Structure 1
């Protein structure tokens, strides 16, 4: 038996119960609602990524580990700048 492609597995494990009726037919209205929600999430996540990374990342499909690393670096930069300013090292 061949293994299901990832997208098929994701559909079966997550989306199927959400977008199909009990008889197995597609609930088009529900699918449209889910797609609208997904579009909103993509838009909002991009804005958050851009904000927390100081404009370095805006693509919503960027791996979480990458966003976290860049955001952590950005926080360290902000802290270093604040410390330097506090010590009078920055004009």
Structure 2
């Protein structure tokens, strides 16, 4: 049994039925539509990552765990600063 690389498995499991015609040929129109949607998603994800991480992460292929970790650190800092300010301890 030949082990397929991850990208081949992803294509076969997800993209194949979307971008291929029933005869196995490539549906260029559908491929172009999917790629246009994918570009829009990447652009939007970059904006969200940048905003929630305070500008520290903006690459759309960054793993969610890294983005969430930075976002949570940022939130904890904001909360700590607000609590310190509220209690009169702010510098």
TM-score (norm 1): 0.95
Shift, 1:2, TM fit: 1.5
What is the CA–CA distance in structure 2 between the aligned matches of 1:82 and 1:23, rounded to whole Å?
61
* CA apart distance, 1:22: 1.1
Q: Partner of 1:41: helix, strand, or coil?
A: helix
Instruction: Verify: 1:69 aligned to 2:66, yes or no.
Output: no
Gaps of 5+ in 1: none
Alignment-derived partner of residue 24 in structure 1: 24
Q: Deviations over 1:57-89 (max 9, x none)?
A: 011111111001100000000101111111122
Find the residue that maps to 1:13 and give its secondary structure.
helix
TM-score, normalised via structure 2 length: 0.95
Measured in 1, the distance between the counterparts of 2:39 and 2:28 equals: 16
Runs (4+) off by over 6 Å: none
What CA distance in whole angstroms lies between the structure 2 residues aligned with 1:55 and 1:87? 28
Unaligned runs of 5+ in 2: none
1:90 deviates by: 2.5
